[in-house]
Amino acid sequence: MNIYFDNNATTSVALEVLEAMLPYLKEAYGNPSTAYSFGRKVRDSVERARGQVASLIGAKEEEIIFTSSGTESDNTAIMSALRFKNAGKHIVTTAVEHPAVLNLCKYLQTFGYTYTELPVDNAGMIDLDYMAQIIDANTAILSIMYANNETGVIFPIDKISRIASSKNVVLHTDAVQAVGKLPINVNDLGVQMLSISGHKLHAPKGVGALYVKKGTEFYPYIIGGHQENGRRAGTENVAAIVGLGKACDIAKTFLDSETLKVQHLRDRLEAGLLNKCSNTIVNGASSPRLSNTSNISFAYVDGEAILMMLDKEGIYASSGSACSSGSGQPSHVLRAMNIPQEYIRSSVRFSLSPYNSEEEVDALIGILPQLIERLRHISFLRGN
């Protein structure tokens, strides 16, 4: 038995996506920047994929820049905003952002930039009034994630954008976890930049996109050739770009039905585990959340021990962000939420996809409570 519940870390490549990619790994291998027809046909495929990505988020084709990842998209957005004419040297973000944002902000401090991490409450939400107070004349950009990768908590980006607009500050949102799971229209959101990662919505790893609203001042992060209309140098990863386009097309077609299916599975999982496991909480449960994400803490048990025992059963989940895995540090997201210490280190994130089933969820519910009791018994005998 192999059951995969770690889709916020990465997803499987959809069969339709793989089939769309294969020709560009075999016979259609031309360079899209060449002038002859063999390359131009490949260029047409890149542009078709650009349209598919744009359509999913309500953007214009020319507003989409292909990148290598969500991390590159995040870095590009922030670094570009800092170069705007009359841009300040202050960044506003949150204490629960992905390392792609937080670690860049820390790095930029060595070059004289400053940043503010907005705190969150125990439900994982930021205080918008406080955010408005923090923004000042030196603030160049707000970088606020759309949905948290560990808890699934969704931030009110549309409300945040109205504050940013009133302060004349650029707003970027890391929507890596939201795209393909939530209906998104960038015009309604009011953001200037938005990040996408292919491997979070059943496209391959190594491809992402950055939405840049038409009319927004923009500076490329990777310098070289004229690719992406001079906005991102480097020969395009055509097969992966085509895969991302196809994945976005699928997500747009089945968004409503798959969201309902996955939410049903998540609710079934949570109800079953909460019913069978005492001293258990769902982190962020009182806030709007992604339909696929459940971050559960089982008090008095080490989360890594839970994951190891689930691994032996062929069930795969995680303790938080894959980019922070192995750091040995408790989740910065749960710490920011002031979750009690006995719950922080016992947290497990289950993130589902439409490819999961009720049978898989029921298998977890049948196995995990016994593992929790066994681990708690061992902890009691050791006096922990």
Same domain, residue pair 327 and 201: no
Active site residue 248: no
d(CA 244, CA 228): 16
The CATH number given to whatever domain includes residue 64 is: 3.40.640.10
Same domain, residue pair 285 and 376: yes
Same domain, residue pair 371 and 291: yes
pLDDT at 328: 59
pLDDT at 25: 96
Same domain, residue pair 320 and 239: no
Task: Kindly indicate the confidence band of residue 320, based on its pLDDT and cuts at 50, 70 and 90.
Answer: low
Which helix or strand (DSSP H or E) is residue 3 part of? strand 3-4
d(CA 266, CA 269): 5
Residue finishing a domain among 227, 250, 273: 250
Same domain, residue pair 320 and 212: no
Helices (H), the chain: 15-21, 37-57, 70-81, 99-108, 128-134, 157-166, 186-189, 238-276, 303-312, 332-336, 341-344, 358-382
Q: 7-45 pLDDT, tens per residue?
A: 999 999 999 999 999 999 999 999 999 999 999 999 999
Residue finishing a domain among 250, 282, 302: 250
Task: Kindly indicate the confidence band of residue 384, based on its pLDDT and cuts at 50, 70 and 90.
Answer: low
pLDDT at 86 over 90: no
Same domain, residue pair 237 and 259: no
Same domain, residue pair 279 and 296: yes
Token digits of residue 62: 């020319």
Q: 267-301 pLDDT, tens per residue?
A: 999 999 999 999 999 999 999 999 999 999 999 89
Same domain, residue pair 236 and 262: no
Same domain, residue pair 173 and 272: no
pLDDT at 381 over 60: no
The pLDDT of 84-102, averaged and rounded, is 95
DSSP for 250-261 reads HHHHHHHHHHHH
The pLDDT of 140-153, averaged and rounded, is 98
- Number of Cβ within a 10 Å radius of residue 41: 12
Q: What is the pTM of this model?
A: 0.95
Same domain, residue pair 190 and 73: yes
Residue 365 amino acid letter: I
Q: 156-199 pLDDT, tens per residue?
A: 999 999 999 999 999 999 999 999 999 999 999 999 999 999 99
| 157: containing domain | 15-250
Residue finishing a domain among 250, 285, 305: 250
pLDDT at 242 over 70: yes
Total domains present in the chain: 2
Same domain, residue pair 285 and 240: no
- Identified catalytic residue from 105, 248, 277, 323: 323
The CATH number given to whatever domain includes residue 339 is: 3.90.1150.10
